[in-house]
Structure 1
């Protein structure tokens, strides 16, 4: 099977390309470095030539008011080019709870991306993942200094990037879901607890202060970032991943 992986040189995309190739598929990475510009459409027709499946793993370069325009333009261009190329399955990676946090402009932008895909001409699959293990450091950096890390007690159920890759590959080579599949890690934390676990594992002496107003996830209500009962839970536990990462 020939698959075009848009964003195929990034954290998730490069691993998706590798796994698909190891399974015997023809996985073609498409990114600015390979001559593909989703904003202008340059190189897109060539990248999709002969592709049965498109996996869209691109991300907005910013989380601000520019992100809706990014997802509107790129999703529209990709759907149009895919229809012309005869693509039979479009897959995107999204976020668990994305349509339940209208306070965050980036989440509204990702919800728009999902809506465009559902309304498009091609059978589709949406994989919604929880927050990646690999992004915990970035989340902590938003509201930290030399002595403290301020985090809200937002419930989360993070997942390893490698498990996200496996889930995307599984969906990409299967029949279109024509709906949403949620994926998450096996363990639930509050975000402040996750910060304490992370600092302790790294022997970081900073203190985590629970602050309901700290960081982007302070705007998230209740437990909307944790998956529903039908989610597929990966095997990798965060504490085990931290030990291996160290």
Structure 2
């Protein structure tokens, strides 16, 4: 089966392309660096010719409110139109658990806009919402840093490994659900604590201070429901955070 992975040169995209090829699929890795651009349409028609499934794991190069909205709206519109013309039968999109609860953030408003465009198209779809990646904990700390202090709320999270994200996406390729699927890590932990453990593991001297008024990625207020699956039906991945820290962080 021919599958096109939009964002195929990124963190998740590279892993997903490799997983699908190992299963014997014909896979096109698509990104601007590879000559396929969903914003301009460059190479899109050729890439989608004969494709049965498109998996969109792309992300905006800018998180500024206007830029990120323009990216997801333009990219998704262009992609869905090209899929319709090519006869693609399944659109799979990677999204984020809690998107609908984090709309103070321009990024999550853009992700919601992306989801709505997918739902309103005539192409069968699966939206796979996943929790925060272990690999982005360092970025969470960076954004929350003031001097040598990292201010974060002590809210529940259920993060997961990028490898597990890519593995989960493979399992949702075959059949559209025409709805939203949630995937999360095996452990619920506090946001301030996962960052504290990360800094300890990396020998970082910054101190994590719990501040329940602090914003998530400096853009959205969060609580114990914001960053975890909305019900008890989420798929649970296998890699534990402390195991990942011990094997992945130098």
For 1:18, what is the secondary structure of its paired residue? helix
For 1:178, what is the secondary structure of its paired residue? coil
Scaled by the length of structure 1, the TM-score of the pair is 0.95
Structure 2 residue aligned with 1:61:
61
1:10-46 CA distance string (max 9 Å, x none): 1000111111000000011111122112112121100
2:224 is the alignment partner of 1:225: no
Could you tell me which runs of 5 or more consecutive residues in structure 1 were left unpaired when the two chains were aligned: none
Structure 1 residue aligned with 2:162:
161
2:78 is the alignment partner of 1:84: no
1:41-100 CA distance string (max 9 Å, x none): 121100101100000111111222221121111111000000000100000000001011
Computed over aligned residues only, the root mean square deviation of the Cα atoms, in angstroms, reads 1.4
Residues 1-246 of structure 1 correspond to what in structure 2 (within 5 A)?
A: 1-65=1-65, 66-145=67-146, 147-172=148-173, 174-217=174-217, 219-227=221-229, 228-245=231-248, 246=250
Q: Distance in 2 between matches of 1:102 and 1:145?
A: 24
Q: Distance in 2 between matches of 1:117 and 1:232?
A: 22
1:190-235 CA distance string (max 9 Å, x none): 1111112212223333321012343434522442210121001111
Contact residue 153 and residue 191 of structure 2 kept, 8 A: yes
Contact residue 101 and residue 221 of structure 1 kept, 8 A: no
Q: Distance in 2 between matches of 1:202 and 1:97?
A: 28
Q: How many residues align?
A: 245
Q: Distance in 1 between matches of 2:203 and 2:187?
A: 22
